[in-house]
Amino acid sequence: MRFSTGFIALAVFAIVTLTTAAPTLNPGGDNQTMTALNYALSLEYLQAEFYKQGLAKFNESDFTNAGFDAKVRDRFTQIGEHENEHVSTLTSAIRSMNGSPVPMCNYSFPMDNVTQFLAAAQALETTGVSAYLGAASGLSDDLSTAAASGLSNDLVTTAASITTVEARHAAYLNELWGQSGMPYAFDTPLGPRAVVTLATNFITSCPYNTTVKPFAQLTAWLPAAGSNSTKVTTSFEGNGANLNSTYCQFLFGNNVTVSPRDECALPQNATGYVYVLVTKDRTPLTLDRDSNVLAGPALLFNNGTQSTNGTNSA
Ligand SMILES: *[C@@H]1O[C@H](CO)[C@@H](O)[C@H](O)[C@H]1NC(C)=O
Ligand SMILES: *[C@@H]1O[C@H](CO)[C@@H](O)[C@H](O)[C@H]1NC(C)=O
Ligand SMILES: *[C@@H]1O[C@H](CO)[C@@H](O)[C@H](O)[C@H]1NC(C)=O
Ligand SMILES: *[C@@H]1O[C@H](CO)[C@@H](O)[C@H](O)[C@H]1NC(C)=O
Ligand SMILES: *[C@@H]1O[C@H](CO)[C@@H](O)[C@H](O)[C@H]1NC(C)=O
Ligand SMILES: *[C@@H]1O[C@H](CO)[C@@H](O)[C@H](O)[C@H]1NC(C)=O
Ligand SMILES: *[C@@H]1O[C@H](CO)[C@@H](O)[C@H](O)[C@H]1NC(C)=O
Ligand SMILES: *[C@@H]1O[C@H](CO)[C@@H](O)[C@H](O)[C@H]1NC(C)=O
Ligand SMILES: *[C@@H]1O[C@H](CO)[C@@H](O)[C@H](O)[C@H]1NC(C)=O
Ligand SMILES: *[C@@H]1O[C@H](CO)[C@@H](O)[C@H](O)[C@H]1NC(C)=O
Ligand SMILES: *[C@@H]1O[C@H](CO)[C@@H](O)[C@H](O)[C@H]1NC(C)=O
């Protein structure tokens, strides 16, 4: 994983739909709800492990030396606890439906310093919200007997309540950087291949195979702060030099904006997180149509005045 600036933006995520994994790992077979729950669980494992490792590595003085208020570390502890609780709730829900929770993978996170840890957390929570939104349609609400959580025995409500909490985390982390905690009126759903593309770099090994194939890794750079340029620079392995016939697609809020790749013009209203993908035609991406993707997403954060660069490239 490479960060193009200290501010990076990495996205993170776990994967998983396990339809080809060993049968013991996927007792639900092609049961969509079980697959969605295990997908969410794999994502929560990754988040929980991220905070566990970061908090083990950085103490309060490290936070204050990096210029953050001492209470910021406490907030991170709280976020990590939430992720642990999500892991246990999802695990119980899967068990209560006679499913088998997927095992954890092994992870590696870029965290040389507190700044990098916090920026990765922002990317991770942002991607988490998008992953839950993208998975929402896979959860059926007819499983009202599943013991999902204390107050609600309905899985859709439980998943929605996890999503809102991930969004609170993301909002807090945005504000830590002086960015808006609520950049858009809607958030952006991402499908499993996009999420897995962002997650792949953090997973060093896994005791099962997933059927979700990541797209090619994309590196993207925002235009230099203060310049008049709106061009986002993109690169990916095997990208060829032919910018003429490929396109940048920017996903932010509930918007998708397409731009020829030689312009790759950052949309004016993309003033917060923005996912960039490269596609081979100009057909706008949708959650269930991503066959034109050549690479990405990469996750960038732009607040208009001061942008932060992001990349998910290895
Ligand atoms: C944090 O680490 C990253 C990656 O090694 C580096 O680019 C950045 O300059 C560091 N930031 C600080 C504040 O030390
Ligand atoms: C915090 O960790 C740093 C190393 O990251 C270490 O030098 C320092 O002594 C620790 N401070 C406390 C109060 O434990
Ligand atoms: C999915 O699996 C759960 C638990 O085994 C079961 O309750 C539910 O009926 C299954 N749904 C479908 C559509 O097979
Ligand atoms: C953009 O970010 C910079 C630094 O992170 C901050 O100083 C500025 O207030 C932010 N602007 C907006 C409009 O959020
Ligand atoms: C994770 O790494 C440890 C050693 O660091 C190894 O024993 C274990 O098998 C690995 N687990 C997975 C899921 O690859
Ligand atoms: C994963 O796939 C590889 C290559 O197809 C295979 O060698 C390996 O046994 C599989 N692992 C599991 C846990 O299914
Ligand atoms: C992003 O990175 C590129 C390449 O390193 C650099 O030219 C550009 O100034 C950076 N933009 C910001 C906003 O940091
Ligand atoms: C931006 O564009 C305006 C109008 O075209 C021009 O006056 C200004 O010098 C440009 N600034 C930079 C930094 O290129
Ligand atoms: C892109 O299009 C222009 C104008 O049609 C052409 O001159 C140029 O050779 C093309 N570049 C590539 C890399 O195909
Ligand atoms: C999406 O954003 C672009 C550029 O900011 C704008 O032209 C377009 O109207 C927006 N579309 C929707 C549906 O909001
Ligand atoms: C940007 O957003 C504002 C407020 O929602 C809207 O009025 C405007 O049309 C948008 N502009 C573009 C280019 O999307």
For the stretch 152-169, pLDDT in tens is 667 888 889 999 999 999
Predicted confidence (pLDDT) per residue in 60-92, tens digit: 999 999 999 989 999 999 999 999 999 999 999
Question: Residue 299 in 3-state DSSP?
Answer: strand
Q: Which phi and psi (to 5°) does residue 44 adopt?
A: -70, -35
- Rounded CA separation 62/76 (Å): 13
Question: Residue 163 in 3-state DSSP?
Answer: helix
- Nearest-atom number in ligand 9 for the CA of 242 is 13
226 vs 167, more confident? 167
| Domain that includes residue 49, residue range | 2-205
Burial 257-266, CB ≥16 within 10 A → b, else e: bbbebeebbb
Write out residues with Cβ below 6 Å of ligand 2.
Answer: 59, 61-62
**Residues 179, 215, 99, 167, Cα dihedral to 10°:** 10
184: number of Cβ within 10 Å: 17
pLDDT for 65: 96
Among left, alpha and beta (phi > 0; psi -120 to 50; other), residue 31 is beta
Please indicate, yes or no, whether residues 129 and 53 belong to a single structural domain of this protein. Answer: yes
- The domain tally of the chain equals 2
SS (H, E, C) 79-111: HHHHHHHHHHHHHHHHHHCCCCCCCCCEECCCC
- Rounded CA separation 208/10 (Å): 24
- Nearest-atom number in ligand 1 for the CA of 113 is 1
- Rounded CA separation 14/50 (Å): 11
Whether residue 20 has its Cβ less than 6 Å from ligand 6: no
Q: Look at the block and give the residue holding tokens 């996912």.
A: 275
Predicted confidence (pLDDT) per residue in 8-27, tens digit: 333 333 223 223 333 333 43
Q: Which ligand is nearest to the CA of 107?
A: 5
- Nearest-atom number in ligand 6 for the CA of 21 is 14
pLDDT for 6: 26
pLDDT for 300: 94
Average pLDDT over residues 143-153: 56
* Helix (H) and strand (E) counts in the chain: 6, 10
CB 160 within 8 A of CB 167: no
- Rounded CA separation 249/281 (Å): 10
Ligand 11, atom 3, residue with closest C-alpha: 269
Ligand 1, atom 8, residue with closest C-alpha: 6
Average pLDDT over residues 282-300: 94
Which DSSP letter does residue 289 get? B
Average pLDDT over residues 44-56: 97
Is residue 77 within a helix (H) or strand (E), and if so which, with residue range?
helix 71-96
Q: Which of 141-150, 188-197, 199-208 has the lowest mean pLDDT?
A: 141-150
Q: 213 lies in a domain?
A: no
Please indicate, yes or no, whether residues 148 and 272 belong to a single structural domain of this protein. Answer: no
- Rounded CA separation 160/3 (Å): 32
Residue 70 CA, chain-centre distance (Å), reads: 27
Q: Look at the block and give the residue holding tokens 């003085």.
A: 61
Answer with the one of 175, 205, 235 that is the final residue of a domain: 205
For residue 245, the CA-to-ligand 9 centroid distance in Å is 9
Question: Residue 41 in 3-state DSSP?
Answer: helix
Please indicate, yes or no, whether residues 196 and 274 belong to a single structural domain of this protein. Answer: no
Ligand 2, atom 14, residue with closest C-alpha: 59
Q: Inform me whether the pLDDT recorded for 31 exceeds 50.
A: yes
Is residue 193 within a helix (H) or strand (E), and if so which, with residue range?
helix 192-199
Whether residue 22 has its Cβ less than 6 Å from ligand 6: yes
pLDDT for 201: 85
102 vs 144, more confident? 102
Q: 214 lies in a domain?
A: no
pLDDT for 33: 82
CB 56 within 8 A of CB 49: no
Q: 119 lies in a domain?
A: yes
Percent of the chain with pLDDT over 70: 81
* Most confident stretch, 3-12, 229-238, 303-312: 229-238
Q: Look at the block and give the residue holding tokens 């996927």.
A: 26
Answer with the one of 205, 237, 253 that is the final residue of a domain: 205
Please indicate, yes or no, whether residues 260 and 185 belong to a single structural domain of this protein. Answer: no
Whether residue 255 has its Cβ less than 6 Å from ligand 10: yes
Best residue among 209, 212, 213 to mutate for probing ligand 6, ranked by most atoms within 8 Å of CB: 209
Answer with the one of 159, 183, 205 that is the final residue of a domain: 205
For residue 270, the CA-to-ligand 11 centroid distance in Å is 10
Best residue among 239, 243, 244 to mutate for probing ligand 9, ranked by most atoms within 8 Å of CB: 244
